[in-house]
Structure 1
Amino acid sequence: MADDDTGTETQTLDAYWASDNPIFARKELLDIDHIPDEERIIGRDDEIERVASSIHPAVDGKSPRNTLIYGKTGTGKSLVAKHVTQSATEYAHNNGTEMRTVYIDCTQSSTETRVVITIARDLNDPDTTGITIPVTGLSTDEYYHRLWNILDELYDVVVIILDEIDKLQDSEILMQLSRAGEAGKVESCSVGIIAISNKISFKESLDERILSSLQDREFVFPPYDANQLRSIMYNREDAFKDDVLTGDVIPLSAALAAQEHGDARKALDILRNAGEIARDQQMETVTEEHVQKARKRADIDRFSQLLEGQPTQTKAAVYALALLTEQSDDEEFSTREIYDVYKNITSELDMDALSQRRMSDRLNEQVFLDILGRTERVGRGRGKGVTHQYYLLEDPDVIKPVITDDMRFSEFSEPTDT
């Protein structure tokens, strides 16, 4: 009987794998990591030219200018940086220059040592250099030493893209990389940095030594408007099969993303999710209804990624703010108000409650990660203290399902009166 069951299941899966996808033709065009042809990059001609101007010397093996790119999420910063460096690398190779680009996501590699290891492992060819880069076990200085040797032995020029650089726990690596040639760490290889940040105030956190060594050019990427978002999606309409999209799908997706500060990443997420929902429903067309459902799924997916790996105590504090927001006409709440609800949550989940100060520290971490927002209110009169008010950056009905997916919260029953 088991064999028959297995055989039936295998036949069912074989039919599934062999079936034609009725919705998508080239789904990869909707992936945010996909680097499209230049004609598909909309509204960023000036930005492409400016970044290309900064790294232009690299194609001849000379030192590129360090570049700092600012802009909100989904404004094409990473896309332009990857596109320009990919094009430069191909041109350099055709002209006999050994050029390489390394892309580092600082949300994944957030310490100096981890960044150096990632760069070195990406660039190394151990068969040629005889150098090994173990994942652990060496001092940071030794990792740097091996990286410098790899650069000198293999390359004329290397451009390092540090995306979401504001997530780095230590910015010392900026000085090490930007001064590698001047300090004599590398002799024959030039090193350039393209640093990308969502926070225009990022440089304020750097000390004078690092600022002096960077000597960077700065560019700000503006948000896309609704017309540009429509053009971006129409340029990738061939991700879908012919006549799959109803006429209102792309305009609605663009309008929804325009509400999110012109976020092209959000627009493509909505469009891709709408297609996946239609496919899962075994529909042959993608409609406005699918777009509306896709928007909520995109919100939940984004928030899930942001909260992934966060401690349960942090989730409890965010959940407390979500409950307050849902049960009140107000949008901003003081630390004391959040703490009172947080204590009820930890009590029901049989968790130790943090002190109010420590819970406030957890909330501030979420502000830094763009999960929450914060305002400051200065008191009047004799005290004149500063009170922090926190607010959600997503609707409670997006945040709550993400947190209740955590087993600790799955059985949580909300108090009726907070």
Structure 2
Amino acid sequence: MVEELGEQSERPLSITDQLTSEYNTVFNNKDLIEPDTIVDEDRIVGRDEQLNRVINIIKPALHGDQPEDMLLRGPSGTGKTLIAGTVATKAIKIGASRDVQMEFVEVNGKHKKSEHEAIHQITHAFERELDLEYTSKTGVSTSSRYDRLFDIVDEYLDFGIVILDELDLLVGDSRNKDEPPAFSDILYKLSRAKRIGKMDSSFTLIVTTNSPNSLMSGLNSRTDSTFNPTEVSFADYNANELREILSHRRDAFYEDALDDDVIPYVAAVAAQGEGDARFAIDLLREAGNIANRREMQTVHKSHVEEAKNQVEKNYVVDVIENVSFQKQVSLFAAAVVNLYGQTELGRSDYLTEMSAPATVAHTLYNWITDHEDIEQRSKHSFLRWMRELDTYEVIELNRKGRGNEMGVFAEYIFHNLSAEAMVETLADKDKRFANVLEDEELLKSVVQTNLKNF
């Protein structure tokens, strides 16, 4: 009988009991550190010049005049989309009080595969903001979607503000070498919407990009003659600015829920990469999530260290979901060189522990494709794919000399995301990558031999 009672007392709580038990969290207002939150202007740090320029470009709309289109250029996480969204939100509120009807929508080129898909999202977003009946996602031509978009803006708005985030990554899914990328056609049609759609109203385009050269060089001649944006540049944040940004969102957590060294440490980690505020905020949020899962009342530095690997993996997943398998193989090869070549990289006079020489990475690409019976493409294709991955800011393409007139070589630098996170994430995603890692000693030997001979 005693044993039976003991067994009963050790039974776990039911699902209902667990779900209805007391909930403790370190977060006071988690929205402040969610990725899509547009914060108040008093939380924007280190961007006074850019903020003022965007304000002055949008301001004519409040007086019925057409604002200029904008090109916001700079690395990821430097405040481009944040400032565009914050100013647009304020302008819409002020415009409503002056009988100037405005709305803004945002589409990210990284997550769209075609012009058709992007225009559907833009149209759908305006329908949602204006509480209109949604257009069907299927069975509607691209030209009909444009007609619907033009009709909506012309009937309900004076100005439709469209934020096209990372637009240079929207190249299209069936493009051949003679076709312009999808973003060129989108910019042409939206910048000429008044004429094409016979509209009284108009669009203002705010394009953000990490790679302005890729964007502008991808425009065909007719788009180049019609899309003439005003450029606003955004530089990397330094550690002090990142610390201030995080401090301005400190109230996302309850008082005393953050150890004193957490914000300085998060800022330092983010600054070691490319000064990416988005990465810093994601890292702080994930550290809080870890503390919550452990049912702890305080976020510690150890939680940040644990969160870093998960956030990096999330960033890698975000990239690899939107690139071809051959680009994944190329990235995996370069990351393997860096991860398993640390001994030789540390001995080199001209390589660093964060790099992978392009020629060695290509050799590993060939070795991996042979090992797993994957279609092997040319060196030219490999180098082109890695240049494209550079625009995603997953790796940084760098050229440097060896000295003593030994020439120049290309290398891939792992600044933002660690090679380890890339290798682990890709291996989790595809068994062929995991197979390559099974014989770790062989892989290490192949990498180090090629680095010695470099």
The one of 91, 114, 119 equivalent to 1:116 is 119
Q: Is the 8 A contact 1:377 1:387 kept in 2?
A: yes
Instruction: Please say if 1:265 is aligned against 2:278.
Output: yes
Report the equivalent of 2:390: 367
What SS class does the counterpart of residue 193 from structure 2 fall into? coil
Tell which deviates more after alignment, 74-83 or 369-378: 369-378
Report the equivalent of 1:405: 428
Closer, same or farther: CA 109–351 of 1 in aligned 2, 3 Å: closer
Summarize deviations over 1:343-400 as a string: whole Å, max 9, x none.
Answer: 4323443434334444444434323333333345799xxxx99965444443322211
Report the equivalent of 2:260: 247
Give, in whole Å, the separation in 2 of the partners of 1:146 and 1:269.
37
Q: Is the 8 A contact 1:129 1:153 kept in 2?
A: no
Instruction: Please say if 1:83 is aligned against 2:86.
Output: yes
Report the equivalent of 2:162: 160
| Percent of pairs with identical residues | 30
Summarize deviations over 1:63-86 as a string: whole Å, max 9, x none.
Answer: 221111111111111111001101
Instruction: Please say if 1:41 is aligned against 2:41.
Output: no
Q: Is the 8 A contact 1:151 1:186 kept in 2?
A: no
Instruction: Please say if 1:96 is aligned against 2:99.
Output: yes
Give, in whole Å, the separation in 1 of the partners of 2:167 and 2:212.
11
Compute the TM-score of the two structures, normalised by the length of structure 1.
0.87
Q: Is the 8 A contact 2:73 2:211 kept in 1?
A: yes
Q: Is the 8 A contact 1:159 1:194 kept in 2?
A: yes
Q: Is the 8 A contact 2:119 2:146 kept in 1?
A: yes
Instruction: Please say if 1:319 is aligned against 2:332.
Output: yes
What SS class does the counterpart of residue 26 from structure 2 fall into? coil
Deviation at 1:310, TM superposition (A): 3.8
The amino acid that maps onto 2:144 is E
Closer, same or farther: CA 18–78 of 1 in aligned 2, 3 Å: farther
Tell which deviates more after alignment, 92-101 or 80-89: 92-101
Closer, same or farther: CA 306–203 of 1 in aligned 2, 3 Å: same
What SS class does the counterpart of residue 14 from structure 2 fall into? helix
Q: Is the 8 A contact 2:158 2:201 kept in 1?
A: yes
Closer, same or farther: CA 283–61 of 1 in aligned 2, 3 Å: same
Report the equivalent of 1:23: 26
What SS class does the counterpart of residue 97 from structure 1 fall into? coil
Closer, same or farther: CA 401–192 of 1 in aligned 2, 3 Å: same
Instruction: Please say if 1:142 is aligned against 2:144.
Output: yes
Give, in whole Å, the separation in 1 of the partners of 2:201 and 2:295.
55
Instruction: Please say if 1:190 is aligned against 2:214.
Output: no
Report the equivalent of 2:300: 287
What SS class does the counterpart of residue 295 from structure 1 fall into? helix
The amino acid that maps onto 1:25 is N
What SS class does the counterpart of residue 20 from structure 1 fall into? coil
Closer, same or farther: CA 318–184 of 1 in aligned 2, 3 Å: closer
Compute the TM-score of the two structures, normalised by the length of structure 2.
0.80
Report the equivalent of 1:5: none
What SS class does the counterpart of residue 111 from structure 2 fall into? coil
Give, in whole Å, the separation in 2 of the partners of 1:125 and 1:236.
29
Summarize deviations over 1:63-119 as a string: whole Å, max 9, x none.
Answer: 221111111111111111001101111111122222111111111224322222222
The amino acid that maps onto 1:133 is T
Q: Is the 8 A contact 1:321 1:391 kept in 2?
A: no
Closer, same or farther: CA 375–101 of 1 in aligned 2, 3 Å: same
Closer, same or farther: CA 173–324 of 1 in aligned 2, 3 Å: same
Report the equivalent of 2:222: 209
Unmatched segments (≥5 aa) in structure 2: 1-10, 172-181, 346-350, 447-454
Tell which deviates more after alignment, 236-245 or 38-47: 38-47
The amino acid that maps onto 2:110 is T
Q: Is the 8 A contact 2:71 2:208 kept in 1?
A: yes
Closer, same or farther: CA 392–233 of 1 in aligned 2, 3 Å: closer
Summarize deviations over 1:298-338 as a string: whole Å, max 9, x none.
Answer: 22221221112544443332222222222241433234x33
Report the equivalent of 2:175: none
Deviation at 1:163, TM superposition (A): 0.6
Report the equivalent of 1:4: none
Tell which deviates more after alignment, 24-33 or 79-88: 24-33
Closer, same or farther: CA 376–262 of 1 in aligned 2, 3 Å: closer
Unmatched segments (≥5 aa) in structure 1: 1-7
What SS class does the counterpart of residue 204 from structure 2 fall into? strand
Deviation at 1:43, TM superposition (A): 2.1
Give, in whole Å, the separation in 1 of the partners of 2:364 and 2:281.
37
Q: How many residues align?
A: 405
